[in-house]
Amino acid sequence: MTSNRIVVLGTGGTIAGRGAPGADMGYVAGQIGVGELLAGIPELAGVPVATEQVAQIDSKDMAFGVWQALAARCAHWLAQADVAGIVITHGTDTLEETAWFLQRVLAPARPVVITCAMRPATALVPDGPQNLVDAFAVARHPGAQGVTAVCAGVVHGAAEVRKLHPYRLDAFGSGDAGPLAYVEAGRLRRLRAWPQGSAEAALLDRLARTREWPWVEIVTNQAGAGARTVDALVAAGVRGLVAAGTGNGSLNSEMEQALLRAMDRGVRVVRSTRCLDGEVIGQPGDRLPAHPLTPVKARVDLLLELLG
């Protein structure tokens, strides 16, 4: 059987946003159905497509239940022999968390491409349609695999992608690693390997059965940080803490002591950095383990670990 069908899963975001005609601010995200978004794009007309509206939200409100549904629908469609890949329309604000979550849970051997827009569908010149066309190019590319994000002609890997800008159309970066590829006039110029990995088989099942997610928070080191936030969270029952440290994951001394006390009480703690590039270089004897990814992605890892 030929695998040429592309499944498009809608979750909302600015790409599905509606506002005053022509305006690029002051709109409401998550208004237009995914079928309607595709219908306006002649370049995609000949592609066999299935669409599903998994959610219709502003991604600032991304919730664990939507992640569960999205992972389940991706798994369902990836199991169909005629599906070449999946495109997910998503808000830009939490796209990087969803990307890493799906890569961890699915580690798909076929492409799952998340795309978005910085301007609503009703803007004078919306960027969503071109981003969708580019996302399709990645999803249909022979040999493409893993979870990627496509925005403004740039393809980012799930582990590296992060939102860098609140307004610019090219709003994402991949830090030191750089992008995976560029989409140029419908063709891919590859720079790096596709995201790899192996999904833990039981994780998807466990996810489907999860009703209550573990409570994991990010605490940021900053001038005058102290111990109070960590102590309050531990007293309130937090199960995991990501410390977004300064520089190489360094922490205010009182905060560090509070985190060590939290660990002694069974709270899972990892140390990331609030720096925009690079990763924490762990040292032998570190009591608070270093995590190589950004704080929000380290949090995804802790959530999944604690779900286990």
Interaction site with ligand SIN (CB under 6 A): 12-14, 29, 58-60, 91-93, 116, 118
Least separation in angstroms between CB 22 and ligand SIN: 18
Of 63 and 208, CB closest to ligand SIN: 63
Question: Rounded CA gap, 222 and 231, in Å?
Answer: 16
Helix axes 95-106, 295-307, angle to 10 degrees: 40
Of 65 and 278, CB closest to ligand SIN: 65
Of 52 and 61, CB closest to ligand SIN: 61
End-to-end CA distance of the chain: 37
Tokens of 82: 């005629």
Q: Which of 2, 11, 14, 294 is catalytic?
A: 14
Least separation in angstroms between CB 222 and ligand SIN: 25
Least separation in angstroms between CB 52 and ligand SIN: 18
Confirm whether 229 is a catalytic residue.
no
- What amino acid occupies position 155? V
DSSP string, 215-282: -EEEEE--TT--SHHHHHHHHTT--EEEEEEBTTTB--HHHHHHHHHHHHTT-EEEEEE-SSSS----
Residue 131 Cα to chain centre, angstroms: 16
Of 62 and 302, CB closest to ligand SIN: 62
Least separation in angstroms between CB 240 and ligand SIN: 24
Catalytically active residues, by annotation: 14
